[in-house]
Structure 1
């Protein structure tokens, strides 16, 4: 069982990004010392919030992260060229000593695709072809590739990853996408905002499709994002972080995700990992019994002081994590 942290590096416009980056350095040092296994950054362009880009941010955090895995959760792969991504990611993997995990997704925000001049309807085929090209480049061999979106003629990647194969996790929120990921043999990164039964049910389907495609579960990673607040009770956790988590999810409504408004009560009670240490341990046990084995928790939200986030990760590490790490 592994436990990681998703850094929520989104801030109100005009905030001091230099100061916020310093906070994140201290936060990562804290989770490192508490024994967490991984730390991830998020990715968006042209957001309503000030959102530092994940690859430069993760590069700064390398020397403060100990032996934790570092990665993106997720990188919107269709908005960039695979040559660019391949060299950037190989560089970070080398700098980190082979600790990078590439979490990718196809994206959904219309303004991002329009601003990059990329047709949104091509996002899935771009993602798949980008991964194909990146793997070819990371082989170190001379690459010639003529695909639907990209053309390369006899080129080689100038920087190769430290790892023989960089782990790739793929996010998806629908059955078709989840099945596609399963048949590629890639880990499906389950989203944070879905109810328990949806996450568990889709994991069961994903594993069945994986098996049908000839992949077994030996050494497989089954990751999931969850929002986490550990307190004395659900009510106390909600008092600490309810307003900030609601505001953070509210930012997505303007991008057409009105689910976060209309279905909020269901999300509040059936998706969030909010509650006492016993409550949280029971939730982890439940999801682990279904097959999830790498939990990536978000403990930061808009307006929540970083000191409270540190208290949350510390309480989980002291009162919950040992039950699964013995």
Structure 2
């Protein structure tokens, strides 16, 4: 069982990014010392919030992260060229000594695709083709590729990742069609944070069945999931600490067409958040672990929540919940 942290590096416009980055350095040092296994960054362009880009941020954090894996959760792969991504990611894998995890997704925000001059309807095919090209570039051989979206003529990547044949790839998806596609590729499905327990567990079962049907075994397989985490003495106390902040953070997505964060909030609040006492959280982790999830990536930061509270949350989980799942 592994436990990681998702950094919520989204801030009000005009905030002091240098100060916030220094905060994140201290936060990552803290979770490193507490024994967490991984740390991930998020990715968006042109956001309503000031959102530092993940690859430069993760590069800043390499020397403060110990032996933790570092990764993107997720990188919107269709918005970039595979040559660019391949060399950037190989560089950060080299700098981290082979600790990078490439979490990718197809994206969904219309303004991002429109601003890049990319048709949103092509996002899945662009993501799959880009990943294929990147993985070929990481072999170190010359690559000639003439696809639907990208053309390369006998080019070779100038820097290769430490990990062979490349960094592990996790793929995010929020619907059955996307989840089935990921299973057919034999790649880990990164389950989203905001979905209710039965949806996450049911889709994981379907994903695993399809994965096996496609000929992929489960030895050493990773089944990751994002969850929002607040550990206190009770659910009500946890919600009093972080409820307004987490709801405010999710509220930012409403403007991008995700109005269910507003209309379905009570269900999300009760059935998706990992909020509660240490015993409550341990029961939730055990439940999801029995369903097959084995790498929990927790978010304990949200808009307006002081960093001190986030520090306390990850510390309490590490001291009162994590030991129950370490062997």
TM, length-normalised to structure 2: 0.99
Aligned to 1:272: 273
Q: Does 1:262 align with 2:263?
A: yes
SS in 2 for 1:154: strand
Aligned to 2:247: 246
* CA distance, structure 1, for counterparts of residue 112 and residue 104 of structure 2: 16
Please state how far the C-alpha of 1:216 moved relative to its aligned partner.
1.1
State how 1:123-138 maps to structure 2 within 5 Å: 123-138=123-138
State how 1:1-326 maps to structure 2 within 5 Å: 1-164=1-164, 165-326=166-327
1:259-294 CA-to-partner distances (Å, cap 9, x unmatched) read 101100000000000000000000000000000000
* CA distance, structure 2, for counterparts of residue 11 and residue 247 of structure 1: 12
SS in 2 for 1:136: helix
Please state how far the C-alpha of 1:58 moved relative to its aligned partner.
0.1
* CA distance, structure 2, for counterparts of residue 246 and residue 154 of structure 1: 50
* CA distance, structure 1, for counterparts of residue 99 and residue 19 of structure 2: 26
* CA distance, structure 1, for counterparts of residue 117 and residue 146 of structure 2: 21
SS in 2 for 1:102: strand
Query: What value does the CA root-mean-square deviation take over the aligned residues?
Result: 0.3
Show structure 1 runs of 4+ deviating over 4 A.
none
* CA distance, structure 1, for counterparts of residue 147 and residue 213 of structure 2: 28
SS in 2 for 1:145: strand
* CA distance, structure 1, for counterparts of residue 287 and residue 261 of structure 2: 24
* CA distance, structure 1, for counterparts of residue 235 and residue 213 of structure 2: 40
Question: What is the count of residue pairs matched by the alignment?
Answer: 326
1:189-240 CA-to-partner distances (Å, cap 9, x unmatched) read 0000000000000000000000100001110000000000000000000010
* CA distance, structure 1, for counterparts of residue 147 and residue 289 of structure 2: 40
SS in 1 for 2:10: coil
Please state how far the C-alpha of 1:255 moved relative to its aligned partner.
0.2
1:103-131 CA-to-partner distances (Å, cap 9, x unmatched) read 00000000000000000000000000000
Q: Where does the alignment leave 5 or more consecutive residues of structure 1 unmatched? A: none
* CA distance, structure 2, for counterparts of residue 6 and residue 290 of structure 1: 22
Q: Where does the alignment leave 5 or more consecutive residues of structure 2 unmatched? A: none
Please state how far the C-alpha of 1:14 moved relative to its aligned partner.
0.4
* CA distance, structure 1, for counterparts of residue 94 and residue 81 of structure 2: 20
SS in 2 for 1:292: coil
1:240-269 CA-to-partner distances (Å, cap 9, x unmatched) read 000000000000000000010110000000
SS in 2 for 1:152: strand
* CA distance, structure 1, for counterparts of residue 193 and residue 34 of structure 2: 23
1:44-74 CA-to-partner distances (Å, cap 9, x unmatched) read 0000000000000000000000000000000
* CA distance, structure 1, for counterparts of residue 232 and residue 60 of structure 2: 31
* CA distance, structure 2, for counterparts of residue 79 and residue 233 of structure 1: 42
